[in-house]
């Protein structure tokens, strides 16, 4: 049901990264939690709501036009999104970080989605073994009416610009950052380079929508580049 | 051929033409013989020469015959009396040969003409033939026929530019002229053929058209013969009419480039009147009542049309009008549109929609009851059909404007429609179908009139909620709410179906999804098939119920199909609304800016032009002093004409005679072509109608219109002479309401008023043009215009009154209430008589619209309290229930002024009360200002009979002062704000009311009703969408939310279901019936009948039917129900009856008593209502969800 491609070509520069907690204006204080838990009479419609909620989330995300962020849902389930984050400034400049976003099945009533970097990135908030990003603290309680998935992704992006070392998942990174910024930068650079080297490795996921990189091919990519440079509006589709 | 050539030929022929008078010189036989002699030379045998020689030879033969008896040289005339038929025939035969030779001749190629043609010119062949033909007495017809035929062939097939030859053209013209004067029936087809061919030739060559246009005969009433000849035929049926129409259309389209021809058409021909009048006449031939057998019939379908030849004819003519408007020069188009409005819509359609048969009237005692009149039903169905047939945007505009804003006998036509919806008859069905058609047009103006203007002020919601209008419900809570309203006895609640039909295509979803089910979640936990026993397994149901439930499950419709439907619907609607000027999101247009009569008419379809909306004037009946004397004297006294509406009345009454109202006499359709031709349009003088003979046009048939009584006809004529010009004058002008100007802004100098309402109108028109002109250029993209519009508005607002600008920014509910323009306009002017600014002061108008006081600062700043205004509600007053009445009285009353003095704001309510009392007494006003003159008092009293009660019934609906009154009456304060309780407008009120009574409505009524609502939910505009679909919105107490209504329906259904013994089985049967109906397309009629004969077989059949995933399944959504149903009006008649009988039998306990029958009907209705209700809720939920996801569209355009 999800869109196959992400029209990332049209991303614009955003306004300053916003506070992740600022939400779509919802003046209703008394949101009636009428969507029932699975035991309610409309339980069987759960999947319907779920699917549509996810679709809206995806659309909202697209509307945000977060720069450097590309996301596509998996071909197998809408609860698993593939993404890649390009960091263009700061310490993590040139970083190309692929990630998986896993949305709990009881969305939007469950916990906040999990974001996992593959391969793990050297960052205080990222678990060095699993690559999981620490989002729980920021979105301690996932409020369905005010929290959206794009906020998680925005947070993920922001994490690379504003490094927060409180309660880190990667102790080493945290301490390095606090004490020895230079070596932190060196390590980051190493990490970024190594990721880049492995960028063209074949993807181990069998999902059709998994994000994979391939070397530059003029025939395939040349047109896209041209259109980007010329800032034309037409869709360059179907590659 | 260039003009130089043409003139050369002309001159050449002129020089030769001196001798080509009617008297013909004797033939030059020598030439012929010479030519013949040359032939004998063996070496000169080239084909061209041969042909030429043959030509000459034939011509000699002809001449021999013609001049046979002309032995005396002095005689110039033919001796025709002794021509025998054989001779004529021989001449004809020779002519044919000649023509063939002429046709076949190739031009030599150097710009010159061939020798045969030259010879023809020399010999003046055609003229001679023509003259001779005229004189041969009884065979003249044959000759003419032959000539016509010859010309036609020449024009069609000649390879040379034949028509440029003067000597061929002139006789042609003479021939046509002769045909004009007398044309027998035999000749007609040939004539039309020739004319058609002529038009084809003309349109191919613009120069030729000009030439032809100028080469008019010196005598004859019409300059451009072509039109005069063709026009009488345009309403004929059959191929003759079709050809004539085509020919005319060609001419008209040729005029598009040629302004003078366009002018000619509009000024000197009566094409437009005849067209419009013909429509009226054709309409009168349509069957008065439609023979409707099927219960579900609610609109005319193609099959119906095919069965009614009169309807076909009418539609042909309508199509022709449409085509003419499309292809003609704007001058002509505009004229035609005006005639269409004034000659067809107003005199024919209006009365037709309000005709009451004599008998019906007497049965209706209560006000507001609608006589279930078959004739009106037919008329409404016709109107809907016409609406669907018109394609040209301009024509459509005028049509729509008439329907939405037109008046008839002081009723607004739309009001009549809305009143009729409240009834419970076939008329209601048809009217609802019409409303659906209107809503389905995606026309901004229509939606504005019907819905948006009541929603824009945002009174229906709490002020704090206004931001919530923009909310899109992403989390599905609205959808959930709707689904939760499904009654408990419906299995959909527990067992939703998410199945695609096999043939569904076009959805972006199915790429991932197998056709039969939706997979969700990795573990397939939420995989859906057609039933899930485990979910209902826990219910404590007995076995039989289970089985029925199980069967019921079979009939569950798939939610996914509703989703697809919703997506399609929203998509189409969004596309259709792309050219709208405003997003209607609560911010644009701002609630403050409301002016109910804002002239923002534009249609989306063609990126259209603005409607120069005619002023639809309420026609006041004679006998109202107000209408005649009051206003006039008021003008002379300098009394103000209050609001725009008042202005309308003013103008209308000044120009229309009381008799005008007779045009709506019951039972007759009044327009005649003659009447229309008597119209004295502004720039059309002395339209000669003698050349249009009604009898000719309609082949002498007896029409209703021709059988009118003499005196009535006379009255019509007199009435029309007075009325139409007036109305036409008015209609020329933009709706003055552009800015909902107050009446006071109308004139500066009161005394000049009487002289020139036109002037005012014109001035106003100019101003309104200016105001809105920028609006209408290229509104492809709404957004660039909005800032511009806003800017413009702001500029105009700011210009005269800078001090007021700050008020605009105040975004307080209280600010609403200061916009009370009728009061506004009274301030400071003392007596009513003082009229204010010149109408043309556009800034003033806009300001008036916005309720700004031009003379003093707004007195309403103090009155932030809405309470003051609610006390102004006139429902409790002692008047005869006609609220609009009191309002206009107020307007007239000198006491009105006191309402605005700012210091009296606190005392406003007592003032009002006093005021009302004073009006009651007919005495002086509160402030003690003596009534200016006695006449004013009279007027006031007279005004009491001003507007016949028209809309009081509606007041019943929401129990409060219906702001709709206001909009129909001249004043137009922000709708509903200060007049009592907030309200969402008559349409929504009525729809919701009917929805509430869903259980009592018939199946078809419910289908239509839910169809209308669903269609409205497809509109993406936040105002409407949030009103209908946002379940979290908090509305004002007097405004019912959709969910509220649905909740009450659910309760009613559940309560009733509990009282009916075998509800489930009834439900099952109903579903089976409806399923079988839908799948009936693939089932033969016979089979469906047999289906029911063995009732036990039904189950088997339908079960297999439900498993069958066929394309038909897609139509199981509600929209499909009635869309399909209407098409199969006739096909399922008998089968339906059988089925209904089957169901009816099963529901009634078997007694034939009336009570039992009633019960069964009631149960039947309730059962069907339950089915529809369930589906409706699913539809709503699907629409909610699709809206949430649909914002993909919004930002992709960026």
What pLDDT was estimated at residue B439?
Answer: 92
The mean pLDDT of chain A is: 75
The reported pLDDT for the residue numbered B843 is 52
Token couple for B767: 């101003």
CB contact at 8 A, B921 and B976:
no
**pLDDT-wise least confident of A72-86, A196-210, B340-354:** A196-210
Q: Does A26 touch chain B (CB under 8 A)?
A: yes
The least confident of B159-168, B976-985, B1089-1098 is B1089-1098
- Min distance B896 CA to chain A CA atoms (Å): 41
Residue of A nearest to B1194 (CA): A63
CB atoms inside a 10 Å sphere around CB B451 = 25
Report pLDDT digits (tens) over B625-683.
333 333 333 333 333 333 333 433 333 333 333 333 333 333 333 334 445 455 444 43
Q: Chain B 528-567, CB below 8 Å of chain A: which residues?
A: 528, 532, 535, 559
Q: What is the least distance, in Å, from the CA of B459 to any CA of chain A?
A: 18
Residue of A nearest to B534 (CA): A44
Distance from CA of A10 to the nearest CA of B (A): 10
Q: For residue B1188, what is the nearest residue in chain A, using CA coordinates?
A: A56
DSSP string, B516-570: T----STT-TT---S--HHHHTTS---HHHHHHHHHHHHTPPBHHHHHHHHHHHH
Which residues from chain B sit within 8 angstroms of residue A105, using beta carbons?
521, 525
Question: A163 vs chain B: nearest CA distance in angstroms?
Answer: 32
Structure tokens at B505: 């295509």
Confidence of residue B132 (pLDDT cuts 50, 70, 90): confident
How many other C-beta atoms lie within 10 A of the C-beta of residue B206? 12
Which residue among B476, B496, B511 sits closest to A52, beta carbon to beta carbon? Answer: B476
User: How many Å separate Cα A89 from the centre of its chain?
Assistant: 17
What is the DSSP-derived secondary structure letter of residue B775? G
Partners of residue B481 in chain A, C-beta under 8 Å: 34
B529 Ramachandran zone, left/alpha/beta (phi>0; psi -120 to 50): beta
Say what percent of chain B tops pLDDT 70. 48
Whether B114 has a pLDDT exceeding 90, the answer reads no
Main-chain dihedrals φ then ψ at residue A70, nearest 5 degrees: -130, 130
Residue with more model confidence, B605 or B63: B63
**Three-state DSSP class for B294?**
coil
| pLDDT at B1012 exceeding the cut of 90 | yes
Residue A80 DSSP SS3: strand
pTM, two decimal places:
0.62
Cα–Cα distance list, B549 to B531, B538, B545, B924 (Å): 11, 13, 6, 73
The β-bridge relationship of strands A69-73 and A80-87 is: antiparallel
Residue A9, chain B, CB below 8 Å: the answer is no
Lookup: tokens for B150: 């010859």
Q: Average the pLDDT over each of A95-109, B509-523, B534-548, B834-848 and give the range with the smallest value.
A: B509-523
Q: Which residue has the tokens 């826990």?
A: B538
CA of B497, closest CA in chain A: separation in Å?
9
In the predicted model, is pLDDT for residue B1129 greater than 60? no
Instruction: Indicate if the pLDDT at residue B240 is higher than 60.
Output: yes
Q: What per-residue confidence (pLDDT) applies to B1119?
A: 43
> What is the per-residue pLDDT for B385?
92
Chain A hits for B558, CB-CB cut-off 8 Å, are none
Calculated CA dihedral for residues B594, B600, B602, B608, nearest 10 degrees? -130
Q: Which of B483, B513, B1192 minimises the CB distance to A59?
A: B1192
Question: Given A46, A53, A75, which is nearest B475 (Cβ)?
Answer: A53
Alpha helices per DSSP H over B67-186: 85-104, 115-123, 125-135, 140-157, 166-181
CA-nearest of B160, B170, B96 to B128 is B170
Say yes or no: A2 contacts chain B, CB-CB below 8 A.
Answer: yes
CB-nearest to A59 from B465, B522, B1191 is: B1191
Residues of B in contact with A39 (CB under 8 A): none
pLDDT over 70, % of chain A: 79
Instruction: Enumerate the residues of chain B whose CB falls inside 8 A of the CB of residue A35.
Output: 475-477, 480
pLDDT tier for residue B805 given thresholds of 50, 70 and 90:
very low
Strand order in the sheet with A95-102: A69-73, A80-87, A95-102, A114-117
Q: Pick from B465, B475, B498: which is nearest to A144 by CB?
A: B475
B481 touches chain A (CB under 8 A): yes
Between these two residues, B813 and B1071, which has the higher pLDDT value?
A: B1071
Phi-psi region of B700 (alpha: psi -120 to 50; beta: other; left: phi over 0): left
Taking only residues 1019 to 1048 of chain B, the set having a beta carbon closer than 8 angstroms to any beta carbon of chain A reads: 1032
Residues 6 or more apart whose Cβ sits within 8 Å of residue B975: B453, B454, B457, B594, B596, B963, B964, B966, B967, B983, B985
**Which is more confidently placed, A218 or A19?**
A218
Q: Which of B643, B673, B1007 has its CA nearest to residue B839?
A: B643
Between the ranges B22-26, B801-805, B982-986, B1140-1144, where is the mean pLDDT highest?
A: B982-986
Paired with A132 in beta bridges are A116
Q: Cβ B1188–A43 below 8 Å, yes or no?
A: no
CA B139, CA B146: separation in Å to the nearest integer?
A: 11
CB contact under 8 A, B468 and A28: yes
Residue A114, φ and ψ in degrees, nearest 5: -105, 135
CB contact under 8 A, B479 and A49: yes
The residue with greater pLDDT, B554 or B662, is B554
Nearest chain B Cα to A62, which residue? B1192
Q: Do A46 and B1189 touch (CB under 8 A)?
A: no
Q: Which of A46-50, A163-167, B434-438 has the highest mean pLDDT?
A: B434-438
**Each residue's pLDDT tens digit, B675-734:** 545 544 443 344 444 444 444 455 444 333 333 334 344 444 444 333 333 333 333 333
Is the predicted pLDDT of residue B1074 greater than 50, yes or no? Answer: yes
pLDDT digits (tens, 9 = 90+) for B303-315: 888 888 889 889 9
* pLDDT bracket for residue B431 (50, 70, 90): very high
Cα of B496 to nearest chain A Cα, Å: 6
Q: Do you find a cis peptide bond into B775, omega within 30 degrees of 0?
A: no
Split at pLDDT 50, 70, 90, the class of B494 is: low
Longest alpha-carbon distance in chain A: 59
Nearest chain B residue to A37 by CA distance is B480
Instruction: With beta carbons less than 8 A apart as the criterion, state whether B618 and B410 touch.
Output: yes
Instruction: Examine the pLDDT at A135 and tell me if it is beyond 60.
Output: yes
Work out the minimum CA distance from B193 to partner chain A, whole angstroms: 52
Lowest mean pLDDT among A50-64, B209-223, B711-725: B711-725
Q: How far is CA B227 from CA B199, B252, B271, B281, in A?
A: 10, 9, 8, 20
pLDDT higher for B384 or B293?
A: B384
Least confident of A159-168, B604-613, B1030-1039: B604-613
Q: Both tokens of residue B358?
A: 């004599």
Tell me the HSE value of B581 on the side-chain side, using a 13 A CA sphere. 26
Nearest by Cα to B1144 from B1159, B1130, B1129, B1132? B1159
Interaxial angle between packed helices B125-135 and B85-104, expressed in degrees from 0 to 180 and rounded to the nearest 10: 160
Helix, strand or coil for residue A101? strand
**In the structure, what pLDDT confidence band is assigned to residue B231 with cuts at 50, 70 and 90?**
confident
Q: How far apart are CA B683 and CA B249, in angstroms?
A: 23
What pLDDT score does B1018 carry? Answer: 92
**Residue B892: pLDDT above 50?**
no
Inter-chain CB proximity A148 and B468 less than 8 Å: no
Q: Tally A–B CB contacts below 8 A.
A: 115
Other beta carbons within 10 angstroms of residue B481's beta carbon come to: 25
- Report the run of H or E that residue A70 belongs to, with start and end: strand A69-73
Q: How far is A91 from chain B (nearest CA, A)?
A: 33
Q: What is the mean pLDDT of residues B1068-1080?
A: 81
Q: A88 pLDDT exceeds 80?
A: yes
Backbone region of residue B518 per phi and psi (left: phi > 0; alpha: psi in -120 to 50; beta: other values): beta
Render pLDDT for A27-52 as a digit per residue (tens, 0 to 9). 332 333 334 344 466 777 777 788 88
Which residue of chain A is at minimal alpha-carbon distance from B1197? A233
The pLDDT mean for chain B works out to 62
Q: Chain B closest CA to A11's CA: distance in Å? A: 11
Are the Cβ atoms of A52 and B465 closer than 8 angstroms?
A: no
Q: Do B612 and B605 form a contact (C-beta atoms < 8 A)?
A: no
Residue A32 is nearest to which of B467, B1032, B1185, comparing CB atoms?
A: B1032
Which two structure tokens, joined as six digits, stand for A237? 């589709």
Mean pLDDT, range B1105-1110, rounded to an integer: 30
**8-state DSSP, B450:** I
**For residue B1079, pLDDT beyond 60:** yes
**Does the beta-carbon distance from A44 to B494 stay under 8 Å?**
yes
Q: What tens digit of pLDDT does each residue of B937-962 get?
A: 444 443 333 333 333 333 333 333 33
| Rounded average pLDDT over A155-175 | 83
Handedness of CA B745, B751, B757, B759 (dihedral sign): negative
ipTM field? 0.75
The string of pLDDT tens digits covering residues B974-988 is 444 445 677 888 899
Q: Is the peptide bond before B589 cis (omega within 30 degrees of 0)?
A: yes
């Amino acid at each position: 049901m999800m869109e196959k491609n992400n029209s990332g070509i049209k991303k614009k520069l955003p306004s300053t990264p916003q506070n992740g907690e600022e939400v779509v204006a919802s003046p209703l204080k008394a949101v009636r939690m009428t969507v029932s838990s699975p035991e309610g009479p409309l339980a069987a419609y759960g999947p319907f709501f779920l699917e549509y909620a996810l679709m809206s989330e995806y659309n909202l995300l697209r509307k945000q036009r977060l720069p450097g962020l590309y996301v596509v849902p998996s071909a197998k389930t809408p609860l698993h999104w593939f993404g890649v984050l390009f960091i263009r400034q700061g310490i993590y400049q040139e970083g190309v970080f692929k990630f998986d976003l896993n949305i709990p099945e009881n969305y939007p009533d469950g916990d906040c989605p999990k974001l996992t970097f593959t391969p793990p990135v050297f960052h205080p908030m990222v678990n060095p073994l699993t690559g999981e990003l620490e989002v729980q603290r920021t979105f301690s309680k996932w409020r369905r009416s005010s929290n959206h998935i794009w906020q998680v992704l925005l947070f993920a992006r922001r994490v690379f610009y504003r490094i927060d070392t409180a309660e880190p998942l990667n102790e080493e990174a945290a301490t390095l950052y606090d004490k020895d910024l230079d070596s932190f930068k060196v390590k980051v650079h190493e990490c970024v380079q190594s990721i880049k080297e492995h960028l063209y490795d074949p993807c181990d996921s069998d999902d059709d929508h998994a994000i994979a990189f391939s070397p530059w091919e003029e025939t395939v990519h040349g047109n896209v580049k041209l259109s980007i440079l010329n800032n034309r509006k037409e869709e360059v589709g179907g590659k | 051929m260039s003009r130089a050539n043409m003139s050369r030929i002309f001159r050449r022929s002129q020089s030769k033409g001196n001798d080509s008078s009617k008297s013909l010189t004797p033939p030059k036989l020598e030439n012929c013989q010479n030519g013949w002699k040359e032939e004998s030379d063996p070496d000169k045998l080239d084909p061209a020469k041969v042909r030429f020689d043959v030509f000459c030879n034939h011509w000699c033969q002809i001449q021999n015959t013609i001049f046979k008896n002309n032995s005396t040289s002095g005689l110039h005339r033919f001796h025709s009396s002794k021509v025998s038929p054989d001779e004529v025939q021989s001449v004809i035969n020779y002519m044919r040969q000649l023509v063939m030779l002429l046709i076949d001749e190739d031009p030599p190629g150097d710009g010159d003409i061939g020798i045969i043609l030259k010879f023809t010119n020399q010999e003046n062949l055609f003229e001679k033939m023509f003259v001779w033909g005229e004189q041969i007495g009884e065979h003249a017809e044959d000759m003419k026929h032959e000539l016509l035929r010859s010309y036609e062939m020449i024009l069609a097939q000649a390879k040379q530019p034949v028509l440029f030859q003067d000597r061929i053209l002139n006789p042609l013209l003479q021939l046509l002229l002769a045909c004009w004067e007398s044309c027998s029936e035999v000749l007609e087809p040939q004539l039309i053929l020739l004319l058609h061919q002529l038009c084809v030739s003309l349109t191919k060559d613009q120069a030729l058209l000009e030439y032809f246009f100028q080469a008019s005969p010196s005598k004859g009433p019409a300059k451009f013969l072509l039109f005069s000849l063709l026009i009488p035929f345009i309403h004929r049926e059959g191929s003759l009419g079709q050809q004539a129409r085509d020919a005319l259309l060609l001419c008209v389209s040729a005029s598009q480039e040629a302004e003078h021809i366009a002018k000619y058409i509009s000024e000197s021909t009566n094409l437009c009147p005849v067209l419009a009048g013909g429509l009226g006449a054709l309409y009168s031939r349509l069957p008065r009542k439609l023979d409707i057998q099927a219960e579900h019939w609610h609109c005319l379908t193609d099959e119906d049309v095919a069965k009614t030849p009169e309807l076909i004819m009418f539609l042909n003519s309508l199509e022709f009008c449409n085509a003419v408007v499309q292809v003609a020069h704007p001058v002509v188009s505009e004229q035609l549109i005006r005639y269409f409005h004034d000659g067809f819509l107003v005199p024919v359609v209006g009365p037709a929609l309000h005709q009451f048969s004599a008998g019906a009237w007497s049965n209706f005692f209560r006000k507001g009851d609608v006589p279930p009149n078959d004739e009106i039903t037919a008329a409404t169905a016709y109107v809907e059909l016409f609406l669907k047939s018109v394609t040209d945007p301009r024509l459509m505009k005028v049509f729509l404007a008439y329907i939405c804003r037109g008046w008839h006998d002081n009723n607004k036509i739309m009001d009549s429609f809305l009143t009729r919806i409240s009834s419970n008859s076939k008329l209601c069905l048809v009217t609802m179908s019409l409303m659906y058609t209107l809503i389905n047009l995606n026309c901004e103006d229509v939606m504005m009139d019907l819905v948006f203007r009541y929603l824009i002020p945002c009174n229906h919601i709490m002020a704090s909620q206004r931001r919530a209008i923009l909310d899109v419900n992403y989390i599905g809570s609205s959808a959930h709410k709707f689904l939760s309203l499904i009654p408990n006895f419906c299995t959909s609640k527990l067992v939703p179906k998410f199945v695609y039909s096999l043939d569904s295509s076009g959805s972006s979803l199915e790429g991932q999804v197998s056709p039969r089910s939706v997979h969700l979640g990795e573990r397939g936990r939420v995989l859906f098939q057609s039933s899930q026993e485990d979910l209902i397994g826990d219910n404590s149901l007995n076995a039989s119920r289970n089985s029925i439930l199980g069967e019921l499950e079979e009939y569950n419709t798939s939610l996914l199909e509703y989703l697809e439907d919703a997506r399609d619907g929203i998509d189409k609607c969004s596309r259709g609304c792309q050219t709208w000027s405003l997003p209607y999101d609560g911010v644009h247009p701002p609630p403050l800016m409301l002016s109910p009569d804002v002239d923002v008419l534009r249609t989306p379809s063609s990126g259209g032009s603005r409607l120069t909306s005619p002023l639809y004037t309420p026609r006041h009946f004679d006998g109202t002093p107000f209408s005649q004397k009051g206003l006039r004297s008021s003008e002379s006294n300098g009394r103000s004409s209050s609001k725009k509406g008042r202005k309308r009345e003013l103008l209308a009454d000044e120009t229309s005679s009381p008799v005008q109202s007779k045009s709506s006499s019951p039972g007759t359709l009044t327009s005649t072509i003659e009447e229309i031709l008597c119209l004295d349009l502004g720039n059309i003088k002395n339209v000669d109608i003698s050349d249009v003979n009604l009898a000719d046009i309609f082949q002498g048939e007896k029409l209703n219109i021709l059988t009118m009584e003499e005196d009535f006809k006379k009255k019509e004529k007199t009435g029309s002479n007075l009325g139409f010009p007036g109305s036409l004058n008015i209609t020329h002008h933009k709706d003055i309401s552009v800015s909902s100007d107050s009446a006071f802004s109308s004139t500066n100098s009161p005394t000049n008023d009487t002289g020139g309402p036109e002037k005012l109108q014109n001035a106003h028109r100019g101003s309104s043009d200016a105001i809105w002109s920028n609006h209408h250029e290229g509104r492809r993209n709404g957004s660039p215009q909005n800032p511009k519009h806003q800017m413009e508005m702001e500029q105009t607002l700011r210009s005269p009154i800078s001090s007021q600008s700050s008020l605009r920014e105040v975004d307080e509910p209280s600010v609403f209430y200061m916009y009370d323009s009728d009061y506004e306009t009274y301030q400071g002017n003392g007596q009513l008589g003082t009229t204010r600014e010149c109408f043309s002061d556009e800034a003033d108008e806009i300001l008036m619209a916005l309720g700004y006081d031009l003379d003093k600062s707004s007195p309403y700043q103090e009155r932030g309290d809405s309470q003051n205004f609610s006390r102004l509600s006139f429902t409790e007053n002692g008047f005869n229930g006609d609220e609009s009445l009191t309002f206009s009285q107020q307007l007239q009353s000198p006491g009105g002024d006191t309402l605005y003095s700012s210091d009296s704001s606190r005392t406003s309510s007592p003032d009002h009360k006093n005021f009302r009392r004073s009006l009651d007494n007919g005495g002086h006003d509160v402030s003690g200002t003596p009534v200016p003159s006695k006449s004013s008092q009279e007027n006031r009293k007279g005004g009491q009979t001003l507007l016949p009660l028209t809309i009081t019934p509606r007041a019943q609906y929401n129990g409060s002062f219906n702001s709709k009154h206001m909009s129909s009456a001249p004043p137009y304060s922000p709708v509903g704000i200060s007049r009592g309780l907030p309200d969402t407008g008559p349409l929504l009120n009525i729809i919701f009311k009917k929805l509430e009574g869903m259980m009592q409505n018939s199946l078809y009524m419910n289908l239509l009703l839910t169809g209308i609502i669903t269609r409205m939910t497809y509109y993406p505009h936040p105002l409407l969408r949030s009103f209908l679909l946002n379940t979290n919105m908090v509305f004002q107490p007097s405004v019912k939310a959709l969910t509220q209504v649905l909740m009450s329906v659910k309760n009613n259904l559940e309560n009733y279901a509990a009282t009916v013994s075998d509800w489930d089985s009834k439900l099952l049967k109903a579903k089976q019936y409806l399923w079988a109906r839908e799948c009936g397309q693939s089932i033969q009629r016979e089979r469906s009948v047999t289906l029911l004969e063995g009732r036990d077989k039904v189950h088997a059949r339908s079960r297999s039917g439900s498993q069958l995933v066929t394309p038909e399944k897609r139509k199981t959504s509600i929209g499909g129900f009635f869309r399909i149903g209407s098409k199969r009006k006739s096909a399922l008649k008998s089968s339906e009856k059988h089925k209904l009988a089957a169901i009816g039998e099963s529901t009634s306990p078997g007694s034939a008593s009336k009570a039992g029958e009633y019960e069964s009907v009631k149960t039947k209705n309730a059962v069907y209502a339950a089915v529809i209700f369930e589906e409706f809720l699913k539809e709503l939920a699907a629409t909610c969800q699709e809206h949430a996801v649909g914002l993909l569209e919004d930002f992709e355009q960026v």
